[in-house]
Each structure stands twice: as C-alpha cells, then as structure tokens.
Amino acid sequence: MADYFYQSGCDTIELVCVKVRQLSGGLLDMFRISLFMFIVFGMFGVVSFYLTPYLMNKGFEAGQIGTIMAVGALVSIFAQPFWGYISDKKKTVKRILLLLLICCLTASTGLFAMEHLLLIIVMYACYMFFCSPIGPLAEALCISHAQEHRREFGRMRVWGEIGVGVSALSVGYLVKAVGIDKLWIIFLSCGVIAVMAALQLRESKVTPTPVNLKALGKLFMQRRLLWLLLIVLIVGIPHRMNDSMLSLYLKELEAPESIIGIAWFFGTMSTIPAMMFAGRLFRRWNAIGIMTIAAVVYSIRWFIYSATDSAAVLIAAQVLHGATFPLFFLATIHYMMTIVPAELRATGQSAFAVTFAGLGGLVGNAAGGYAIQLFGAGHAYAIGGALSLVGAAALVGTYLYNRRL
C-alpha cells in the first residue's frame, strides 16, 4: 500500500512538472512573439510615418512623394503572395522572416543613400518587396502560437499596434533632437534589434496560405465579393492616402516632427480598445452595419481634416482612427466569411488585403500626392470624405439588397 501511494505521488509530481514546463514554455513563446510584434511593427513605423518628411527635406514635392509611395504599394501587391508561397514551399516562417529582415535593411541603406527621384523609386520598390511581406508572415507566426497555446490572437497582435504608437512618438522626438537626415540610423538600429528578436523565435507550425490562382479565378465569379471589394477600394483610397500624406499635411502646417509622432501615437493607441473588445460588438451588430458606421466616421474624419488649418485639431481627430480602421477591417473579414465558400476564404482574405492596402495605396498615394500638390491638402481630404460617403451609401444599399434575399 505504501509503495502504491509512493508511486502515485511520484506520478502526480511528474505530471505537475510536465504541466509547469508546458505552461512556462507557452508563456515564453507568448512573450517572444509579442516582443517581436512590438519591435518589428515599431520598425515599420519609422519609415511609414517619417519617410515623407525625410523626402520633403530632400526637396521632393507632394506629387513626387506620392509616386514613390504608389510604386511601393504596387510592388507589395505581388510581393506578399510571392513570399507567402515561398514560406509554404520551404515550410518555414522564421527563416523567411530573418531573410526578409536582412534584405529589408540592406535595401533601406540604398533608399536612404539615393538622391535622384528615379533611383529612390527603384530602391523603395526593392525595400517594399522585402518589407511588405514581413507583417503578414509575423501575423501568421503569431496565429500559430496562439492556436498552439490556446490564446487569443488579438491580445498578442495588439502589441504590434502598441509598438507602432511608441515608435511614432519616440522617433518624433529623436528626429527633432538629431535631425530628420539621421532617420536612416534610427531605422537600421530598430532593424538590428528586430533581427535579434527574430532569432529568439520558435519555428511556427502553421504557415500562411498563398494566393491560389485557380481559386482566385473562382472568386472573380462571386459577384457579391466583387461588389464588396469595390467598396473596400473606395473606402481604402483615402485611408491609404492619409497613411503617407498626414505627415506632409502637418509639415504644410509647419508642425515639427515631434507633432507627427504625437498624431500617430494617438491614432494607433486608439485602435487598442477596438481590437481588444470587437468580439462583443460583433455579437450585437451585423458586419454590414459596423462597416457602414466605420465608413461614416471615416467621412467625418476626412471632412474635419479638410476644414481645419490647426495641427491640434488634426491630432485630436486622429483618435477617430480607432473607430474606423479596426472596425472596418474586422467587420469586412466577418462579412466575407458569409459570402465566400469555406474553401476560398483564405484566398478571399488575400484579395481583401491586396485591394485595401495594395490597390488602395496605389491610387491613394499617386492621386493624393498630386491632389495635395495641385489643390492643397484640404481639397484632397474633402475628396476622401466624399469617397467614404459613397462607400457608406453603397453599404446601405448592400444591406437593403441582402434583406431581400
């Protein structure tokens, strides 16, 4: 009897030790991937928010800057599915992330060194070819670990948003202290830290699904999806224009770089509540209704931007970012799940990402840059507000049409 209790006690202790090791290993994985998301998305913020004032400091005009950004958006349309395919074929996410980070840093040195417009366009295209897939691959790695350890993806992904906000704020003050011409040092420093963080990651068991061309052909036969993607493009154009041109607008209002950082800090931090608690909202409202509200708030936001000449008002209006992008983004994915067959959903999400970020960025940056140069930022944002209203009206029409089905 004593031997029985002794053996049972040993088995229990061993089981507890195994569970503790699993728990500690899971917590360590969560910490590593959350830290990586914080660092790598913070690295993105350096270029996303400060490349525009950097190029302005070099003497480039709004139209030229818009062209540079548009070429980058065009490259990202093809780069993301290409590297997703490579990741799947090689059955690794971590090694592809490391390769992309190193190539991204290499391309950035050329980008910051160039002075001629054509050479900057070429180097920015190279930069985006390696940089744009890092975010989706990092999210795939994050999803894999979340599934493995039964954690919520949103509570891990939110560290990326926090990283962007902290980066925007801190880099603004750094640039003010050392000069915008030293931006390359800040970016390379962040990149080296990102590589070090990537080396600590554990390999993912889930890789992102690349765009399937045959499946994409079937998607083009889905008229409701094509209509949805058209709405996404209409709403996405002013959003993507603002991503690149808000810094230019603030510089036009003679705001220092630190103000640019504060504006984006408020914007990115405002998304955290929406990302953390969106699930509750979706249980009470249908996706089309949430998309419509987001589109209307987008319109209000852009009209506020068009009507003011105060940097303080622009910063305050950035808080509306939390009621626009995360809600529109998440609600679109939710709605897409109801109109796209299960076997095509991964490809449908890729089509959504390409439409919003890629095509929206291509049109928004190119047209927005020249609109600001020719007519001023106020008029460009007024057009953005009108486009968002068109998107909201189309969503109302979609809701009414769906009720008749």
Predicted pLDDT of residue 116: 93
Segment 236-265 shows an average pLDDT of 87
Looking at residue 122, its pLDDT comes to 95
Q: Which residue has the higher pLDDT, 301 or 255?
A: 301
pLDDT at 19: 40
DSSP string of 225-242, one letter each residue: HHHHHHHHHHHHHHHHHH
pLDDT-derived band at 342 (thresholds 50, 70, 90) equals low
4-15 confidence digits (pLDDT tens): 444 554 444 444
In which band, very low, low, confident or very high, does the pLDDT at 328 lie, cut at 50, 70 and 90? Answer: very high
For residue 132, the model assigns a pLDDT of 87
The H-or-E segment that residue 221 falls in is none
**Of residues 11 and 347, which shows the higher confidence score?**
347
- Give me the mean pLDDT over the 124-143 stretch: 86
- Asked whether residue 331 carries a pLDDT value surpassing 70, the answer given is yes
- CA gyration radius, the chain: 23
| Confidence class for position 159, pLDDT limits 50, 70, 90 | confident
Which H or E element spans position 318? Answer: none
Average pLDDT over residues 303-320: 92
Q: Which segment of 67-71, 175-179, 187-191, 247-251 scores lowest on mean pLDDT? A: 247-251
- pTM for the structure as a whole: 0.80
Three-class SS of residue 116?
coil
pLDDT exceeds 80 at position 68 = yes
pLDDT score for 205: 58
Q: What does the buried/exposed string (b/e) look like for 312-321 if buried means 16 or more CB atoms within 10 Å of the residue's CB?
A: eebbebbebb
HEC profile of 14-33: HHHHHHHHHHHHHHHHHHHH
What's the confidence (pLDDT) of residue 345?
64
Lowest average pLDDT, out of 168-182, 201-215, 327-341, 390-404, goes to 201-215
Q: What is the mean pLDDT of residues 38-48?
A: 91
| Nearest Cα residue to 87 out of 156, 38, 127, 144 | 144
CB 239 within 8 A of CB 226: no
Q: Which domains does the chain have, with CATH numbers?
A: 19-203 (1.20.1250.20), 215-405 (1.20.1250.20)
28: amino acid identity, one letter: L
